[in-house]
Amino acid sequence: MGGILASLNKSYTGLKTTQVMVDVTGHNISNSNNEHYTRQRVVASSASPLKYPHYDVGQGVQITTIERIHNEFVFSRYKKASEEQEFTGTQKQALMEASAYYPEIDNVGIYNDLQNYYNSWKDLSNKAGDPAQKLALAQMTQTLSSNIKDTRYRLSQLQEKLNAELKISVEEINRLGSQIAELNQKINTHESNNVSSKANDLRDKRDQLEMKMNEMVSISVFKSGMKKHTNTDNLTADFGEGYVLNLSGKTLVDGHKFRPLMLDDSENSNGFYSVYYVRQDWKREDITGDLRGGKVGAFIGLSNSHDQNANCNQGIGKLQQYIDDLDIFARGLIEATNNIYAQSGSASLTGDKLDLDVSDPVLQSNYNIKEGSFDIVMYNSLGGEIGRKTVNIDGLTTMKTIVDRINDNEDSNSDGNNINDIDDSFTAIYNETAKTFQIMPKNPAEGLYISIQDNGSNFAGAVGLNRYFDGNSAKNIEIARKFQIDPTVIRAYREPVDGNFIVANNMQQMQYDDVDFFENNGQRIVKSKVNEYFKMISGKVATDTEQAMTLDDTKKSVYNSIRLEYSSISEVNIDEELTNLVRFQAGYGANAKVITAIDQMINTLLGMKQ
């Protein structure tokens, strides 16, 4: 019913509404520095009017709801830009650190060591019998091998560091997912009690968790029953009925239910983690290779190691590629060097332990043995050649074939005497238990020497006969142990006589010749000069780093652009809020004046009655 008291109530609704508007504005201002706060506003509408026969009388104002200014589409783009920027930023930082391990532009590093190493062989060729030159060569060789090993070690340490950070990040994803599920339960409870009451601060908290999770890894969020704001501004709110958060197509959060990820390093010999999703049937599914974006995607793309679960589809990380490249480089250098050094006359020859049975075809093994041949050459104590035998290698050749060929009774010196040949003074053995190949003197007192001169087979380098370098990769490359103990026993000669420096000359010439580098586990052979191959693999690191830096700059620009767009919509603008505060304060004062006027009218009425 209308009347003067009804007029008083109208102004009272105005007072209440403007008071709430002032409260919400104060809430906005107090959270102006809160990055994850979404500004709110009061949505008001006129109250239902009193209906009279010929007219309606309004009954003041009522609060419909308090809503946050949120555009789900812009927020989704903001999350995506944040995820991409975290990915490129993480990748850039790791690659910049890796590139620092290749300081070639400063005239230091492995490339410079290679030049000094070859120069040391050149110096030895000029003074083949000088112990000081041999000591200098041994020291330079040790410097080169140490720097190769140290570079690989540092890459491995960076790889392990990123693997540890992957573990931390996956644990953080589980923590965030669990909190999102709990928030969904609270939001549902809050909003189910009153359809007009919005859990704005809870939704801000959930947005914050989504953003943090998106920085870790690329996620997809599906919200059903999406509704628009009550005002006609075309901004889409995210309040609705359903919530599903997916990770690589797997449901991590479904409403208030959460399914955590699992980590396992037991299936990798190097202790690198795989990420598993546990399905509803409790079976594990390896999703490591499916994880994209964010820090986790960068960690996996950088640090993925070998021998992961065979069912997993992840590739090899960039750091593992750099380690593999360094191993390939070191193996090529080791084998080429050892193949040349096998020419130097020695009293006996002993090879490495091989993963090869005596009847296995050598060309089908994992060793860099090629179709071709090599010569067994025998020298007397004066350095004269007194026997030569050629061993051919083809698709049918086995270690037994090679042993039998060396031990053949053959007139290897073509003197018509069958008792003074190679097989009479030396015997070849392949020990099937120790898996080693040897050529040993039958009578050491004869003082004879033997060497291997290769004709394209790389046999001596592949099996490690008469080594100059020990090891088979960047992890274990070093000058042979006997030369570490006594560098003066390094031989610059081929025939064991003073003044012979054929081996030293061949060693320095190697820098100008093509060497075989085995890639893709031996499936592909690249022929390249040693220095050029190292420049190629170090250049790959520099190129990847430069590309990562450029991409990161681009993604930062995109992120900042979308960040500004999101800020203009959802974040608090102090100037705008202060303007609103003045406007609401004026409204509050106007309603108060109406109440004062009505109060005076009531007093007048009461006075008339008295």
pLDDT at residue 3 is higher than 80: no
Contact 82, 219 (CB under 8 A): no
The whole-number average pLDDT for the span 467-485 is 94
Average pLDDT across the chain, whole number = 89
Cross-sheet strand order for the sheet of 261-264: 261-264, 274-278, 284-286
Locate all alpha helices (DSSP H) within 526-573, ordered by sequence. 530-570
Other C-beta atoms lying within 10 Å of the C-beta of residue 151? 22
pLDDT at residue 320 is higher than 80: yes
d(CA 266, CA 91): 26
Question: pLDDT band at 526, cuts 50/70/90?
Answer: confident
pLDDT: which is higher, 7 or 358 = 358
d(CA 100, CA 84): 24
Rg (CA), the chain: 40
Cross-sheet strand order for the sheet of 372-379: 385-393, 372-379, 449-455
Question: pLDDT band at 128, cuts 50/70/90?
Answer: confident
Contact 60, 46 (CB under 8 A): yes
| pLDDT for the residue numbered 7 | 77
d(CA 273, CA 276): 10
Residue with tokens 């190691």: 305
d(CA 258, CA 68): 26
Contact 125, 94 (CB under 8 A): no
DSSP bridge pairs for 220: 246
Which amino acid, 35? E
Which amino acid, 298? A
Q: Which of 193-197, 386-390, 498-502 has the highest mean pLDDT?
A: 386-390
d(CA 310, CA 335): 31
| pLDDT for the residue numbered 190 | 86
Output the pTM of the full model: 0.86
Other C-beta atoms lying within 10 Å of the C-beta of residue 505? 18
Torsion over CA: 495, 484, 121, 456 (sign): positive
Contact 469, 338 (CB under 8 A): yes
Contact 60, 117 (CB under 8 A): no
| pLDDT for the residue numbered 233 | 47
Helices (H) and strands (E) in the chain, counts: 14, 21
Torsion over CA: 410, 414, 418, 421 (sign): negative
Contact 541, 148 (CB under 8 A): no
Percent above pLDDT 90 for the chain: 65
| pLDDT for the residue numbered 522 | 60
E strands, 283-425, are 284-286, 349-353, 372-379, 385-393
Encoded tokens for 248 = 């690589």
pLDDT at residue 230 is higher than 70: no
Torsion over CA: 486, 488, 489, 492 (sign): positive
Contacts with 52 (C-beta within 8 Å, 6 or more apart), sequence order: 2
Contacts with 12 (C-beta within 8 Å, 6 or more apart), sequence order: 60, 591, 595
Which amino acid, 59? Q
Rounded to 10 degrees, what is the CA torsion of 313, 319, 322, 327? -80
Contact 473, 330 (CB under 8 A): yes
Three-state secondary structure call for residue 142: helix
d(CA 198, CA 68): 9
pLDDT at residue 59 is higher than 90: no
Three-state secondary structure call for residue 586: helix
Question: pLDDT band at 9, cuts 50/70/90?
Answer: confident
pLDDT at residue 307 is higher than 70: no
Encoded tokens for 503 = 């081996």
d(CA 86, CA 298): 8
Give pLDDT tens digits for 533-588.
999 999 999 999 999 999 999 999 999 999 999 999 999 999 999 999 999 999 88
d(CA 365, CA 304): 27
CA–CA distance from 595 to each of 7, 342, 591, 604 (Å)? 8, 109, 6, 14
Question: pLDDT band at 55, cuts 50/70/90?
Answer: confident
| pLDDT for the residue numbered 525 | 79
Contacts with 264 (C-beta within 8 Å, 6 or more apart), sequence order: 273, 274, 276, 284
The helix (run of H) or strand (run of E) holding residue 64 is strand 61-68
Give pLDDT tens digits for 152-208.
999 999 999 999 999 999 999 999 999 999 999 999 888 887 666 788 999 999 999
The whole-number average pLDDT for the span 234-252 is 76
195, 189, 201: which is closest to 255 by C-alpha?
A: 189
Encoded tokens for 117 = 């190493």
| pLDDT for the residue numbered 310 | 42
Contact 359, 398 (CB under 8 A): yes
In angstroms, how far is CA 177 from the centroid of its own chain? 24
In angstroms, how far is CA 563 from the centroid of its own chain? 27
| pLDDT for the residue numbered 234 | 44
Contact 423, 407 (CB under 8 A): yes
User: What is the 3-class SS of 395-464, one letter each residue?
Assistant: CCCEHHHHHHHHCCCCCCCCCCCCCCCHHHHEEEEEECCCCEEEEEECCHHHCCEEEEEEEECCHHHHHC
Question: pLDDT band at 306, cuts 50/70/90?
Answer: low
Encoded tokens for 157 = 């340490």
Give pLDDT tens digits for 418-441.
888 899 999 999 999 999 999 999
